Amino acid sequence: MKTITLGDITIGDGHPCVVVPEGCDNHMGSLQRAKEMAHAAREAGARIIKWQLHLPDEEMVKEDAIAASRDSLAEWGSIWDFVQKFSLSVDDHYLLKKYCDSIGIQYFCTPFSLRAAQILNEMGVWGFKIGSGETDDLPMIEEVAKMGKPMIVSTGMTDIADVDITARTLADSSTPYAIAHCMSIYAGQNAGHLKYGLIPFYKKRYGVPAGLSDHTPPDAIASAAGVPVSHEARIWATVHEGANFIEKHFTLDRAQPDADSKFSVNPEDLKMMIQTVRAAEEALGGERKVYDEEKPVVEWAKRSVVASADIPAGTVIGREHITSKRPGTGIRSKEYRTVLGKRAKILISKNTLIQWEQLEG
């Protein structure tokens, strides 16, 4: 299994699952608010925070984009109107990266056009996040790959054949990359949409790190039977499936009037999420050992070799002379074969723990 490295952050098996708060456009176009988000994420324990760099004229044909999105994004007018209203400028991104560097949290960003990627590259970013809309945008993917920096590629709205095409393109370019399982569903998600089993599937299929780009709210969501599935349970399941990273939308206030805050985590939720990931990692692993905390239980719960009848002195002990009972303070029952064939030095009374000093031979 390969790893990818973003600055001092390594993503891959054998390393802690990286929680990536996604600031997206929840700053509502305010650089000051974006800085506050970066600081809050750092205080919550995050080592990295992701943003989005939009250059509307580079990523959209205006009138066609408006026509394609006016129904689904009617609240904002269209995707064009939303991006125009809530995006940070290129100068803002330079200042935001400088601020993130100064407080010790890594700036990470999604370019929504090749020109945006070029600007980020000039800014000195460690890598790129490729959004689900650009997963199979080979003209962009091929050019970004030439920059030689790690990429995390999301897979929402993309079938496996198209993920294969992108994976082959990146493999051919020798660009380090990771795959993000993603569901581009922003409302009404249920447990049937989650499909966390795709995380190990991607790892095996492509031999690269894989994780989750998550759009579920930090509230419970329903299963098919109507049973609530908590955010904590979803985190545990994601870590259990081997996620190397979890990207989660992040906001200062879930009630603020933007598109994404309602399904984002706030600073308190983010802190809980990071702690839950660490707790889930502690619970994983396959080492079988007896813990110190178990040892007092061993004494009364395990079993010893016990005389099943009176055993006169001089008797050669056979299987018919012994049984096993609690506690485990005598000769442990797992060692019973070492007792067979030995001779009783003295009378060993029925229903007593046999002791080594009672035996010879």
Kindly report, residue by residue over 196-221, the tens digit of the pLDDT. 999 999 999 999 999 999 999 999 99
CA–CA gap between residue 19 and residue 274 (Å, rounded): 7
Predicted TM-score (pTM) above 0.85:
yes
- Out of 1.10.3720.10, 3.90.1210.10, 3.30.70.20, 3.40.50.300, select the CATH number for domain 292-360: 3.90.1210.10
Cα distance between residue 8 and residue 47, in whole Å: 9
As beta bridge partners, residue 245 has 18
Report which of 170, 172, 275, 243 is spatially closest to residue 11, judged by C-alpha positions.
243
322-325/304-307 β-pairing: antiparallel
pLDDT for position 346? 97
Instruction: Given CATH 3.40.50.720, say whether it is the number of domain 13-283.
Output: no
Give the mean pLDDT of 227-232. Answer: 96
Pairing assessment for the beta strands 151-154 and 177-182 based on DSSP bridges: parallel
**Bridge partners of 316?**
343
Q: DSSP string spanning 338-350?
A: HHTT-EESS-B-T
Strand, helix or coil for residue 177: strand
- Helix (H) / strand (E) element for 228: namely strand 228-229
Neighbours of 328 (CB within 10 A): 19
Q: Is the pLDDT of residue 248 over 60?
A: yes
* CA–CA distances in Å: residue 200 to residues 240, 290, 294, 326: 10, 30, 33, 44
In the prediction, which pLDDT does 1 show?
A: 57
Give CA–CA dist 209/176, Å, rounded.
Answer: 10
Q: pLDDT tens digit string along 134-163?
A: 999 999 999 999 999 999 999 999 999 999
Of 266, 263, 167, 249, nearest to 213 by C-alpha is 249
Name 63's Cβ contacts closer than 8 Å, sequence gap at least 6. Answer: none
Residue 314 has pLDDT above 70, yes or no: yes
Per-residue pLDDT tens over the stretch 38-74 = 999 999 999 999 999 999 999 999 999 999 999 989 9
DSSP code per residue over 181-216: EE----SS--GGGT-TTHHHHHHHHHSS-EEEEE--
| Least confident segment among 91-105, 171-185, 190-204, 285-299 | 285-299
- Give yes or no for residue 305 having a pLDDT over 70: yes
**Fold equal for 13-283 and 292-360:** no
Q: What band does 237 get if pLDDT is binned at 50, 70 and 90?
A: very high
Give backbone dihedrals phi and psi of 354, rounded to 5 degrees, phi first: -75, 135
* 248 closest CA partner among 211, 215, 210: 215
Q: In the block, which residue shows the tokens 């990273």?
A: 245
**CA–CA distance from 316 to each of 37, 334, 335, 340 (Å)?**
79, 20, 17, 8
66: its two tokens: 């408006």
- What are the boundaries of each domain within the chain? 13-283, 292-360
Is 6's pLDDT higher than 70? yes
Reduced DSSP (H G I as helix, E B as strand, rest coil) percent helix, strand, coil of the chain, to 5: 40, 20, 40
